[in-house]
Amino acid sequence: MNVMPFPKPRRLGKVNVPTVTLAHGGGGKAMKDLIDDVFVSAFDNGTLAPLEDQARIDLAAVAAQGDRLAFTTDSFVVDPVVFPGGDIGKLAVCGTVNDLAVGGARPLYLSCAAIIEEGVSLDLLRQIAGSMAEAARDAGVGIVTGDTKVVHKGACDKLFLTTTGVGVSGKVWNSAPSRRPGDMVLVNGLLGDHGAAILGARGDMALESPIESDCAALHGLIEALLAAAPGTRALRDATRGGLATVLNEIADASDTEIEIDETTTPIREEVKGFCEILGLDPLYLANEGKVAAVVPPEEADAALSAMQAHPLGAGTRIIGTVKDGEPGRVTMRTVFGGRRIVDMLVGEQLPRIC
Amino acid sequence: MNVMPFPKPRRLGKVNVPTVTLAHGGGGKAMKDLIDDVFVSAFDNGTLAPLEDQARIDLAAVAAQGDRLAFTTDSFVVDPVVFPGGDIGKLAVCGTVNDLAVGGARPLYLSCAAIIEEGVSLDLLRQIAGSMAEAARDAGVGIVTGDTKVVHKGACDKLFLTTTGVGVSGKVWNSAPSRRPGDMVLVNGLLGDHGAAILGARGDMALESPIESDCAALHGLIEALLAAAPGTRALRDATRGGLATVLNEIADASDTEIEIDETTTPIREEVKGFCEILGLDPLYLANEGKVAAVVPPEEADAALSAMQAHPLGAGTRIIGTVKDGEPGRVTMRTVFGGRRIVDMLVGEQLPRIC
């Protein structure tokens, strides 16, 4: 398991307890101590407001970077909270950074709200806060304000995090319906690792070597892609619902058909095997570090090279094309030469995957 | 019970179920239908991004209103989710609006992230989304982006909401340590109603007539106060931990003593009785529509008049003064002429009050 570095566990100064109690949620001294000890010490940065308060950000500095403020939010309820390749804290930072990046925005600031179950160990909280701090530093964003609530044992499952991000867009890069037949579909590497990592961590499968989550902040990769292929027509991070879901959304929004090729769609053999045994389709497995891009054909080579040159894009492949077929449909050309429909997921494949 | 108006319940178009299922959290078609039916239809406004996506806000329009972007977040886990005077939706909007307002910011936009327990009725969700929409309209803010997660029955208690707000400050109004002996402490009305309403709604007390939560958006009142008393030294909304906690924080940050007067501190007789029976101190009961303000003595009359003239400030009283006493201490002169220390709450008085 790939545990993130975190501040050395130390005992709370004034509240000498190893687990979170309801007192930590009461708004009083114990809560202040918890926030200071766990979160403020981990997130420490120039802009961090005392948690519970508001952050104040210089608007001129923001407006100098672009003309649109981007604003997005996401809750994270992943079970288990620590898994190979990351934890809920890393996920909460990368997920919201990616939501900003796929809209063409430069991520700037995050808020973090934590709902904590009574009885969670302070060491676990410190580990997760440390992961968040490290992921935020890596992504160049500041966690500048936050909140904590503590609920009775049984009223939530360990820890839920909600991160909200603000960023700025240079020009309004718009992934509106503008896909055209001939456009190419790229993805930056192996699909389904996050979903497989979570299932593995839940013990649903005994794996010889655990599959690690692909959890990563994609804004650098996306910046490189947009520089090389400014005509990029659509970007979506393939999280819940997997690649299949985002391709359906793209096809639906643009009234085009998308056809992908099974032979070039990168999926790890272990993930394929895993899915076969569990009766899952890896195209619907969640990713936390994969983006699907639709680029015009004349920019496809440049996009491919730029993405492959980035550390998070070494495995980039062109996996399909936009076709003048049935509007909103996604199909896959199989290894056997047939075609199958890759439909929108109607129900639930895997709960609490992110 | 004061149920908020809400859009007429109607059946989901494509997913014909009366309660939320795990399928609604899967990232697929059912989730999209839930979001469209419950949230998008309620929050409908010009800036609302398709939930799950980011909102894009015109930065020039924001920067024209001030030089600082204010950014704050809060999770709401109140139990029960509907109570006399409001519900978790109204609370989530008013709470974050108030967090912005007490920092001197004009609230502009909110995000809303919902964690929903499998089995919650769609009618309840619609009612709460309707409350949020109404509270946002009343406060003049837009709910512009959001997220939903669904967890297994038992993994959370019905519904948790996290709202994050962005606003703008005209000048940097700073409630930094600048209180001086002689400053007056004002509060805009009856204390403890929210806490009492929640306890009443939990059935902890059989009340003849239920006490209603004071849940309200205070930015208008605060704007009026700051216009009348621009020298205002501190503003805090007295939520979790009640008036006692915020006065301790103010005294602590300014190294002054605050003395309040029991005879002028406004508390409803029913709340006093209620607290006596339960062994609670109403000064620590949560409020969701009360602000404590510290103003210089020469502006106290103007502040009092301005607040009393506002619909949410009719009950405003001067309740105490800043003294050159023991730094960080809060005391109360009792009706019997004695003095008692009003200490910082160390543990937990009432969990899940907001």
| Domain annotation for chain B: domains and CATH numbers | 22-169 (3.30.1330.10), 184-341 (3.90.650.10)
Q: What is the DSSP string of B122-160?
A: HHHHHHHHHHHHHHHHHHT-EEEEEEEEEE-BTTBSSEE
Which of A282, A307, A268, A102 lies closest to A186, judged by CA?
Answer: A307
- A265 has a pLDDT exceeding 50: yes
Of A10-14, A137-141, A210-214, B98-102, least confident by mean pLDDT is A10-14
pLDDT of residue A101: 94
Beta bridge partners of B115: B149, B160
pLDDT of residue B174: 59
Instruction: Give the mean model confidence (pLDDT) for residues A161-165.
Output: 98
Does B143 contact A at CB distance below 8 Å? Answer: no
pLDDT in tens, B200-245: 999 876 677 789 999 999 999 999 999 999 999 999 999 989 999 9
Please, what are the averages of pLDDT over each run of 10 residues along chain B (354 residues)?
A: 31 56 80 85 73 78 91 96 97 97 94 96 95 96 94 95 93 64 97 94 78 97 95 93 94 93 96 89 96 96 98 98 95 95 80 90
Does B152 contact A at CB distance below 8 Å? Answer: yes
Does B168 contact A at CB distance below 8 Å? Answer: yes
Of A193-207, A222-236, B226-240, least confident by mean pLDDT is A193-207
Q: Give chain B positions within 8 Å (CB) of A109.
A: 71
**How far is the alpha carbon of B246 from chain A, nearest alpha carbon, in Å?**
9
Q: Give the rounded percent of residues in chain A with a pLDDT score beyond 70.
A: 89
Of A186-195, A222-231, B173-182, B296-305, least confident by mean pLDDT is B173-182
**How far is the alpha carbon of A60 from chain B, nearest alpha carbon, in Å?**
7
Q: Give chain A positions within 8 Å (CB) of B167.
A: 54
> β-strands B105-117, B142-151: how paired?
parallel
pLDDT of residue A311: 98
Instruction: Please identify among residues 111-140 of chain A the ones whose CB lies closer than 8 Å to any CB of chain B.
Output: 111-115
Residue A186 to residues A52, A158, A175, A305, B107: CA-CA distances in angstroms? 42, 37, 15, 11, 40
- For residue B151, give the nearest of A60, A148, A157 by CB distance: A157
Q: Give the rounded percent of residues in chain A with a pLDDT score beyond 90.
A: 68
pLDDT of residue B54: 81
Partner-chain contact B54 A70, CB within 8 Å? yes
Helix (H, G, I), strand (E, B) or coil at B225: helix
Partner-chain contact B59 A71, CB within 8 Å? no
Under 8 Å between Cβ of B215 and B194: yes
- A312 has a pLDDT exceeding 70: yes
- For residue A245, give the nearest of B27, B242, B349 by CB distance: B27
- A46 has a pLDDT exceeding 50: yes
Angle subtended at Cα B347 by Cα B344 and Cα B349, rounded to the nearest 5 degrees: 95
Q: Give chain B positions within 8 Å (CB) of A162.
A: 73, 75, 113, 115, 147, 162, 164
Does A268 contact B at CB distance below 8 Å? Answer: no
Residue B173, number of CB atoms within 10 A of its CB: 17
Beta bridge partners of B169: B68, B105
pLDDT of residue A1: 26
Q: What is the ipTM of this complex?
A: 0.91
Token duo for residue A10: 């130390």
pLDDT of residue A173: 60
Q: Give chain A positions within 8 Å (CB) of B112.
A: 73
pLDDT band of residue A7 (cuts 50, 70, 90) is very low
- A154 has a pLDDT exceeding 90: yes
Partner-chain contact B30 A245, CB within 8 Å? no
